[in-house]
Chain A
Amino acid sequence: MVKVEFLGPISQEVLELEAKTLADVATQLQNIETIAPWLAKCAVAVNDQMTADLSMVLKSGDKISILPPVCGG
């Protein structure tokens, strides 16, 4: 199981998913009606490292963070 956490304004509790790669996470999140519209504008971190690799292999206990559009300052 991996943990998926949604940051900032996305109102969604932490999800626990079975996933071997980030692509598996993508497929499952695309099927959640309240989450799907966010995905096009969200960046992703695995264990707090930003990533751009959908084929990244995940292991049990990994933390995936979903980061919506930002505006600091």
Chain B
Amino acid sequence: MELYNGPLDVESIFSKWLHEEENSNYGAYIPFVGTIRAEDGIEALSFDIYEPVLEQWFQSWVKRAEELGAKVKMAHAIGDVPVHTSSYISAVFSPKRRVALELIDEFVEDFKANAPIWKYDVKDGKRIYAEDRSTPMDGSGLLA
């Protein structure tokens, strides 16, 4: 898992991951790249991350992938990420395509639901919590 301040350098991360696994005998490499779209007058999105819990969430996926003979990787941005740049990349490597195609779907969807990351719209230099696009994590409401 890799965290970067500001937007991700997509080409260098793609390339680094490709080289890391070039002798691993995986037949499939499926990356997912999240790019900030220009909408609702935003200048950027901004992100807070709680790294200890994110690391545990990621390690649970590393284990799950290993059981399928696959490998997952991810990179995410911290702080402001301007429109048309990337905040999030994940990838699955596997011996054959089917496992990777299915795993990337589950990995990205669970990321959206349970990775401890908070998103803010940046408008006129102000950070506004993206409450309406956010999802309570599994187990929410315990203290209510």
| Partner-B contacts on A (CB < 8 A) | 7-9, 22, 25-26, 29-30, 39-45, 48-52, 54, 65-73
Whether A26 contacts B115 in the complex (CB less than 8 A), given A8-B129, A71-B133, comes out as no
Cα of A40 to Cα of B139 in the assembled complex, Å? 10
Of B10-18, B46-54, B64-72, B92-100, the segment with at least 4 beta carbons within 8 Å of chain A is B46-54
Q: By the criterion of a CB under 8 Å from any partner CB, how many residues of chain B are at the interface? A: 36
Whether A65 contacts B53 in the complex (CB less than 8 A), given A9-B120, A44-B142, comes out as yes
Shortest Cβ distance from residue B122 to the other chain A in the assembled complex, whole angstroms: 14
Total number of A-B contacts with CB less than 8 angstroms? 111
| Partner-A contacts on B (CB < 8 A) | 34, 47-48, 50, 52-53, 56, 76, 87-88, 108, 111-120, 129-131, 133-144
A8, A9, A50, A70, most chain B CB atoms within 10 A = A70
